[in-house]
């Protein structure tokens, strides 16, 4: 079956702009999480959505937001981009409950100039 | 607030078993041990997880000590494609609680020809 799909794969934006990233989870998966990966901070949790509700949130400023649609697809938005937002943004999906491993997408590489 | 400790790097000869240790001395009774790996520029890949019994799947074996304070991931016959950063993560078992993955620095495993 198809894996986690993230679009776009690469993105270049200018400081001050906003950006929206998309994630399509594995069919049947209802939980979607987002992570940011930078060389300095490593992999950091942004937020998790389940059934269109944010279930958990990491320690990021309010410029970072997300949402989940009824088909479980998710988007994350970053407003007023800063140079430090340059990172690999990863989406992961898992079944609704239980102790499963997350399946990650290949990520969106965002560069802010 | 790291919950796991792993060596920064390890080497392994191709075809030999790779044994990756992880210390999680503060693990709680309801926390599972998960292992993921990340090959350069890709999203993390789930490998295996366990609570207190040893686990084996097609990718690896997980050995958890009786006191659950440490574990070892075993790749029985390492190949060059196993070169990656390996992350050991502890995660609450209960659905609905803060179950995000908290990644540390991981172990860079290099499989040598």
- Read off the pLDDT of residues A19-63 as tens digits, 9 standing for 90 and up: 999 999 999 999 999 999 999 899 999 999 998 999 889 999 999
Distance from CA of B99 to the nearest CA of A (A): 8
Q: In this structure, are residues B34 and B106 in contact, taking their beta carbons and an 8 Å threshold?
A: no
CA atoms within 13 A on the CB side of A101: 18
* Contact state of B43 with A33 under an 8 Å Cβ cutoff: no
Q: In this structure, are residues A112 and A13 in contact, taking their beta carbons and an 8 Å threshold?
A: yes
Query: Phi and psi at residue A84, in whole multiples of 5°?
Result: -70, -10
Q: CA nearest A42 in B: which residue?
A: B105
Band (pLDDT 50/70/90 cuts) for residue B1 is very low
Ranges A67-76, A85-94, B29-38, B88-97: which has the least confidence: B88-97
Q: Are strands A108-112 and A87-94 parallel, antiparallel or unpaired?
A: antiparallel
Band (pLDDT 50/70/90 cuts) for residue B96 is low
* Contact state of A106 with B43 under an 8 Å Cβ cutoff: yes
């Amino acid at each position: 079956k198809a894996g986690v799909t993230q679009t776009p794969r690469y993105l270049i934006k200018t400081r001050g702009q906003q950006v929206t990233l998309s994630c399509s989870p594995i069919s049947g998966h209802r939980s979607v999480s987002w992570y940011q990966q930078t060389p300095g901070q490593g992999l950091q949790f942004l937020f998790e959505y389940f059934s269109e509700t944010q279930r958990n949130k990491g320690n990021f400023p309010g410029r970072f937001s997300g949402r989940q649609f009824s088909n479980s697809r998710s988007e994350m938005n970053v407003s007023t981009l800063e140079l430090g937002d340059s990172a690999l943004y990863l989406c992961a999906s898992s079944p609704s409950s239980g102790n499963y491993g997350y399946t990650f997408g290949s990520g969106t590489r965002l560069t802010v100039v | 607030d790291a919950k796991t400790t792993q060596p920064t790097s390890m080497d392994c000869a191709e075809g030999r078993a790779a044994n990756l240790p992880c210390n999680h001395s503060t693990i709680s009774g309801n926390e599972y041990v998960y292992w993921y790996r990340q090959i350069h520029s890709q999203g993390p890949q789930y490998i295996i997880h366990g609570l207190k019994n040893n686990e084996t799947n097609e990718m690896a074996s997980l050995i958890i000590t009786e006191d659950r304070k440490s574990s070892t991931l075993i790749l029985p016959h390492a190949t060059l494609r196993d070169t990656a950063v390996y992350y050991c993560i502890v995660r609450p078992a209960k659905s609905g609680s803060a179950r995000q993955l908290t990644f540390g620095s991981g172990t860079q495993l290099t499989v040598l020809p």
